[in-house]
Amino acid sequence: MRRRPALLAAVLAALPGLALAAPSHLCASWSAASEVGTLDPALVNEASGLEASTRFPGRLYHHNDSGDSLRFFVSDLTGGGLKAVNLEGPKPRDIEDMALGPCGKGSCLYLADVGDNPGTRSEIAFVVVEEKAEFGETETPLRTVRARYPDGPHNAESIAMHPDGDLYLVTKPIDSQARNPGPAKVYRLSAAQLRATDGVQVMDLVGEIDLPRLASDQTFWAWIPTGFDISQDGKRAVLLTYGAVFEFGSDLAKGLPPKAGWVSGKTYSVILSKRLTQQEAITLTPDGFLYDSESWGKTAAPLMKVTCLDK
């Protein structure tokens, strides 16, 4: 008797050791990193956030690390035509990353004031700015969302927006002396929480990513998260560290893999692109990703591109 394909698949999935593998969304082969532009150090002197606009192709967003005023920058894909956009509001404590995602009928930038090196902040904040075809010299944010962790303060430098409107944050799990990296925790703010205009939103703990375990053959610097982005379809993500890029081939909206589910080449991969000094910003592009580093105000920070070769 001829078996139906769906019935056969169900039988195989039920047998021990023969469960059907989920399709991998990982890139099988990456190009070497190449410099595609630079950022003017007179404006971007400590690059810490990077986003590529999908609503306005050919546009990049940037921001500086702690110490800057409440502002961001707009450029072309090479870092050229750099323009500062000042935002009304108090000076932030430590903006460490930015994300771009849905916001009502349009899209918004989410500037993450989440840096906390001593681990003492009772609250963090996300400044929400509507994405526009043209920005003025000064703009008014839509709102600022106050938030806190459910289990006490954490330092963080990495956020990303899922296409469903939820925001994900990855902690930077090292002590103040940067000696003891451990698993990074992942938290979520829902789309509904990001629409809040008052009160303090409590984030949900999604789980952990044990970078020292996933990249046990790498050095300490590969285990410290500094930037994050999620693909437009939500099926994959990239996490930048000081020494590597991690690609994850699963949808965060469906949860993180269990400990035994982290399989190199199947659910994640480690990309060893050219390491930049203090690399802290990354964004996915249709054919790969861009990343850059702090320049410390001395020389122009290079803007690097890595391309997926199997798509």
pLDDT digits (tens, 9 = 90+) for 9-29: 333 333 333 333 445 689 999
Q: How far is CA 48 from CA 67, 78, 202, in A?
A: 12, 17, 25
Percent of the chain scored above 70 by pLDDT?
89
Q: How far is CA 211 from CA 99, 105, 219, 243, 246, in A?
A: 22, 36, 11, 12, 9
Contact yes or no for 226/172 (Cβ under 8 A): yes
Contact yes or no for 252/238 (Cβ under 8 A): no
Helices (H), 167-309: 211-214
113 located within any domain: yes
23 located within any domain: no
Per-residue tokens: 92? 């932030």
6 located within any domain: no
13 located within any domain: no
pLDDT over 80 (residue 3):
no
Q: Tell me: the pLDDT tens digits for 252-280?
A: 999 999 989 999 999 999 999 999 988 99
**pTM, full prediction:** 0.91
140 located within any domain: yes
Count of the separate structural domains present in the chain: 1
Name the residue range of residue 54's domain.
Answer: 38-307
**pLDDT score of 6:** 40
We report the CATH number of the domain holding residue 280 as 2.115.10.20
C-beta pairs of 108-113 under 8 Å, 24+ apart in sequence: 108/142, 109/51, 109/61, 109/72, 110/159, 110/161, 110/167, 110/194, 111/49, 111/63, 111/70, 111/72, 111/87, 112/49, 112/156, 112/159, 112/169
86 located within any domain: yes
20 located within any domain: no
290 located within any domain: yes
Which residue has tokens 């789980």? 207
Q: Which of 150-159, 208-217, 288-297 has the lowest mean pLDDT?
A: 288-297
Contact yes or no for 168/185 (Cβ under 8 A): no
